[in-house]
Structure 1
Amino acid sequence: MALSESQIPPDAQHYLVCGTEDCEKNCQFYCNDCHLRMCELCMGEHQKNKKTKNHEVVHYKQRKRRIPVVKCKIHPTKDIDLLCEECQIPLCSKCTATKEHRGHIFTDLEIVFAEKVSQYQEEIDKIQNYFEPVSQDVKIEIAGDVTEIKKIMEGIRTAMKAEAEFVKRMVDAVTSDKIEQVNKIEQSLLQTLNGQNQEIDDFINYLNDLIQTYYGYLSPSKIENLTLSLKSKSLKIRPVPETSKPVPPVFTAGQHSKEDVAKLLGRITVPNTKPENRKIKPMETASTQLKPTGKQKKQNREKSDVKQTLCLSSSVTKVREYTVPGFNGVFHISLDKSGRLWVSDGTGKLIQTDLQGNQLQKIQTSGGYGYHTVTQDGDLIYTDNRNKVINRITPDNTITEFIKTGDWEPLSIHSSHINGDILVGMIKYRKAKVTRYNKTGTEIQNIQRNNNGQALYRYPHYVTENINGDVCVSDYDNAVVVVDKSGQHRFSYTGQGSLFYPYGICTNVLGHILVCFSISNTVHFLDQDGRFLMSLLPTEQQGVEDPRSVCVDDENNLWVGQITRTVTVYKYLQ
């Protein structure tokens, strides 16, 4: 269901219908004079009408806000449309004649309302483009700290357990040695006692023998034995052998406290260091369309530092070159974060190769020109113009349907290095446009016409983005078309005096626009304002032959794909 104008916030992307009678199309434009919402078709009719041709017609987001209709409480038939400058209260035209406001200065309330809306919109932009993203950055940083703290604490726990296991092993080893010592002492004592026991046994045997002898002397039948015993000088029994009591060892328990054990196992200390405050990035001017994150801002600053030290070289040096087998020409190149690249030809073959040209994987697509790109997350996304969808390939090679483009046929695609937005060049029934999606696939901007309502594009078969947020399109209809980040036309480049059919396009860290011109076998270098700087020429050294695609890598090398199935890498900055 379509929403009314009062139901949506100023920057919302909901469907708002045209305000022209009996028209239910999507509203894209607004007449500031008659406060009328219009679709593209009704806007054209509005500007053709003699009565309204001089009206100020703008994109809907750039409209002047109409003040709410409020009736005056004193004069109910009148609308409140003025502001008393002295009393600072809104009133109707009839109130100006009352005694309370006689001689005061009055201002059109609509002007004041527009100023306030503009001020609040600026504050909203600050919130959306600075405070909220920075807060999200802080949340991400905190989440990273949480992960890091958990990792550190788990490491401490693991170390403590390992140390405890080591101490336990030492305790077991020492205990085993002491038990062995006890065993040896026991064995020695028992051996002594066993010797004493044997000595007593021998003495008892001696006594038994002596008893038997004495009994023999007392027998009447052996009286001669008694006579012999009487002749004996004395009767003497050997004394009981001397033995000694064993002295057992004494075990003295160790004197250990919990603190002693704690010392053995190390200790945990919290550094007496004052926590460092997180750095809050300073507020920067940002577009409502482009919202760079903290990481992206850092990358932008690094690129800015590089920009101060680089310039175009007077000579172009070939770094390396290789051929892509099985191709009928390298029509587009996308470099991924691993240093490998995706290349496509004119028949729908899309392959990933290493830097020697060896094929790593292959996908059959519906074909096109600049129809694939690598996102900030390292995923490859590519258009399917037959099914009117955009597909995503994750690093694990899973292909999923990412964005549906409805009735529009997607031709070209580019993932923003500034904020991850996705730019898609599309056509439908002799119409063409560039649509911006955020990284989750939500449509946030359409670029189709210039300030005069004329079509900007006819066949946007390559699209890219410059460092200043400009959207640069290589349109097969003889031009490179550049608009700013809000969609306003900046310039069109049509070559150097001859027929101009541009192909692949890219930009570099200096804001230069590089575009292939296959007819003259050159790559044109433009500055970010569209001024021609130089050409990469088909000399024997440079070796350019019918170039179709260009891109630059993180080391500021220029990659050129040619119809000869060759990819050549050049060093062109110094």
Structure 2
Amino acid sequence: MMDPRSSAQDVKRCDLCETDVVQMHCDTCLVQLCTGCVGKHMLADESKDHKVVKFQARKSTPLYPGCSSHDKERCEMYCKQCDIPVCLSCLASKQHLGHELSKILQVLGEKKDKITEERNELNDTIYPTYQYIASDVQNRMSQLEKEYGDLSTVITKHGEDWHREIDTLVKKLKVEICEIKNTQLQTLQKHLDEINKTISDIKEEINSIDVAKDTLRLLSITSKIHIYRNLPYKIIPSFSKFIPGKIQGEELIKPFGTLSSSSLTFDEHGYSMETTQKSPEAGSSPPVKKLLDEPETVITIDTGYKYLYNVACVSDEEIWTSGHTSTMKLFSINQGSLLKSIRTKSGNIPWDIAVTKCEDLLYTDYIYRTVNIMKNEKTEEVIGLQNWKPWGVCCTFFGDLLVIMTSDDYKQTKVVRYSGSTEKQTIQFDVKGEPLYSSGSFLIKYMYISENRNLDICVSDSGANAVVVVNQVGKLKFRYTGHTPAQKNKPFNPRGITTDSQSHILTADDKNDCVHILDQNGHFLRYIDCGLSYPFGLCMDTNDNLFISLEYRRNKLRQKRREGFAQLIKVKYLQ
């Protein structure tokens, strides 16, 4: 059955039921109607005086909208600069002098044409594209089921091969045992035969001595006792022992075989509106970008903070910042100008900030134990904690929130994944039951969090002087404890953390005035050290430009803090 939204495009359909052919028109609302929907339309908003005419006679009785400034006046014109309908009295008041004006019916017609055009685009292009994407994802899920099913079969077969080899090895060892046993038994049996013969000879000797009664017979006996006094040698078997190899999991895995690493790569440009027949593999990986030999500072913004801590990109044009005040500031990246300032609801300093997929601002309130969201300049509590205090927060690719937090007594630290305000996952210990993250007084450490493109969870833990990375199920992948520049030679002290399209992990090191770049497996790649002074917060835009907050400006001559305002810089480090 054909979809009525995409069939018979040459026939105009009712705007309400979207099925029947248009016969009527409401000049008040500019809505096309079939005869069956006229009553429904008029009852939907009884406050209006609906002018319903035959479709062929549409616009014959135009009803202009009333003016919001002048009662009983009708607006026949539209001010494009003010984006409002205007009446003759409005025009006479000279409030719109010099503004671009158009007839309101023309504006309404253009608006309706645009809506119709967008509706056609949704119907003809976007809707089928999303249908294709859903099918593509379903195919990938089916492929995933098949691939991992085949992988399980391979491992099962390999296990069967190992069983056969082990059975063969057991038989071989048993044969060797029989051979060793038989050789030793033959030797002992030969020795026993010799001893039994000697016993027989001794018994015969005794008998011969008993029967010798006469003198001549006694004189003729030659004793062999000197021979028998030399007792036979003693044979002591040395038994073979079985020394079993270790069969603990970790030792057994290496000879048996291991799984190669796997990942999920997210490409924002993987699908296209131009074609819905793109092959599943096309665009599955982001373009490879190489590290620049010399990173360069592109933009510097004076923020007005004495201490600047956190940054979070809204888009390639706007960025949120927070420092040692309750005020969070939104800056234009290209202009370097302040666009907006918003205070936290509690008046406390925001410990960390992040931006959701809907471009809303998140911040953590360490004192009030909350994670909050700013929507339309209003603060809403997303997560309220009891006995735990939030440190860093980030929004994941799928829209979840990752929060790293510490207990009120500072003895425990964990990462929790939330869907909205619902707790989905807790990450706290490694496979041996040891804590993954440091604990202790908040006065001596900072903790920030980011999700990599392969869904690894990356935490900068200054209390442990380490970057701790676990996979999406919470299993420890590695700890990075620094690769201090020789000329600096100070302990690694991680602050802000972020990731890029190449799955690089970047973390600020304010003691050594640089940013460390690691690959997704924790291998050190290089530093970014382009005249940085106390780098703290990090974030990335969609083009892999790195934004670094410099905690405060330092006097280069006197090496003092708090000279002027802290800066935010944009750095290009990938080709």
Please, what TM-score do these two structures have when normalized by structure 2?
A: 0.49
Q: Which protein is bigger by CA-based radius of gyration?
A: 1
TM-score, normalising length from structure 1? 0.49
